[in-house]
Structure 1
Amino acid sequence: MKPASFSLPLVQEEEDPVADDLDAEWMGFVTPYLRGVESARNDRIVDDPFAEPLTRKQQPKIQTFVNEGLRKLYLYPENAIALRTRYLDEALHHRNPRILQIVILGAGLDARAYRLGSLRGCHVLEVDQSSAMFEHKASVMKELHAPLVAQNVDCIVSDLAKAGLEANLMGHGFNPTMPTFWAMEGLIACMNRPSIVKLLKTIDYLSAPGSEFWADMPGQTFVDEQEWGGTCNEASLKTAGEHFGRHWTPILTPQTIQAAPVYFVVGKKPIPDAVVVQKMCPGLDFED
Structure 2
Amino acid sequence: MRLSQKASKTAEYMALFRALETIESPRIRLFNDPYSKNFLSAPLRIAELLFRTPLVRQFIHGVMDNRWPGAFYSGVARTRLIDDVLRSSVQDGINQVVILGAGFDTRAYRLPELRTCAVFEVDHPSTLEVKKGVISRLPTMNTEHVRFVAIDFVEQSLEEILLKAGFDKSNSAMFIWEGVTNYLTADAVDQTLRFIANCASDTRLVFTYVDKAVLNEGSQFVGSKALAKTLNQIGEPWSFGLNPSGVNQFLQDRGFELVEDLGSVDYRSRYMRNRYTNSDVYLRGYEFYRIAQANVK
TM range (shorter): 0.7 to 0.9
User: How much has 1:72 moved relative to structure 2?
Assistant: 3.0
The answer to which of 71-80 and 174-183 deviates more is: 71-80
1:269 aligns with 2:263: no
CA displacement, residues 231-251 of structure 1 (integer Å, 9 cap, x when unaligned): 459996145734254443131
| Aligned-partner Cα distance in 2 for 1:59–1:164 | 35
Query: 171, 177, 181: which one pairs with 1:178?
Result: 171
Partner of 2:19: 36
User: How much has 1:74 moved relative to structure 2?
Assistant: 3.5
C-alpha change, 1:73 and 1:25, in structure 2 (3 Å) is same
User: How much has 1:20 moved relative to structure 2?
Assistant: 6.4
1:115 aligns with 2:110: yes
Query: 68, 71, 79: which one pairs with 1:77?
Result: 71
User: How much has 1:219 moved relative to structure 2?
Assistant: 1.6
| Aligned-partner Cα distance in 1 for 2:157–2:63 | 35
User: How much has 1:179 moved relative to structure 2?
Assistant: 0.5
Q: How does 1:3-22 map to 2 (within 5 A)?
A: 21=4
Query: 271, 274, 286: which one pairs with 1:243?
Result: 271
The answer to which of 89-98 and 50-59 deviates more is: 50-59
Partner of 1:166: 159
**Larger helix fraction of residues:** 2
1:98 aligns with 2:132: no
| Aligned-partner Cα distance in 1 for 2:141–2:2 | 32
| Aligned-partner Cα distance in 2 for 1:226–1:21 | 27
> Could you tell me whether the CA contact under 8 Å between 2:30 and 2:271 is conserved in 1?
no
Partner of 1:52: 37
Partner of 2:136: 142
> Could you tell me whether the CA contact under 8 Å between 2:70 and 2:283 is conserved in 1?
no
Partner of 2:205: 213
| Aligned AA (1:53) | N
Partner of 2:123: 128
User: How much has 1:142 moved relative to structure 2?
Assistant: 2.4
| Aligned-partner Cα distance in 2 for 1:20–1:210 | 30
C-alpha change, 1:242 and 1:209, in structure 2 (3 Å) is closer
**Equivalent residues, number:** 241
Partner of 2:82: 88
C-alpha change, 1:60 and 1:86, in structure 2 (3 Å) is closer
User: How much has 1:29 moved relative to structure 2?
Assistant: 1.0
Task: Give the alignment's Cα RMSD to 1 decimal.
Answer: 3.1
The answer to which of 192-201 and 222-231 deviates more is: 222-231
Query: 140, 145, 151: which one pairs with 1:152?
Result: 145
Secondary structure of residue in 1 paired with 2:74: helix
C-alpha change, 1:223 and 1:246, in structure 2 (3 Å) is farther
| Aligned-partner Cα distance in 1 for 2:216–2:275 | 28
> Could you tell me whether the CA contact under 8 Å between 1:102 and 1:182 is conserved in 2?
yes
Partner of 2:216: 224
User: How much has 1:184 moved relative to structure 2?
Assistant: 0.2
> Could you tell me whether the CA contact under 8 Å between 1:104 and 1:125 is conserved in 2?
yes
User: How much has 1:181 moved relative to structure 2?
Assistant: 0.5
C-alpha change, 1:190 and 1:89, in structure 2 (3 Å) is same
| Aligned AA (2:8) | E
User: How much has 1:27 moved relative to structure 2?
Assistant: 1.0
| Aligned AA (2:36) | A
TM-score, normalised on structure 1?
0.73
- Provide runs of 4+ in structure 1 moved above 6 Å: 60-63, 66-69, 233-236
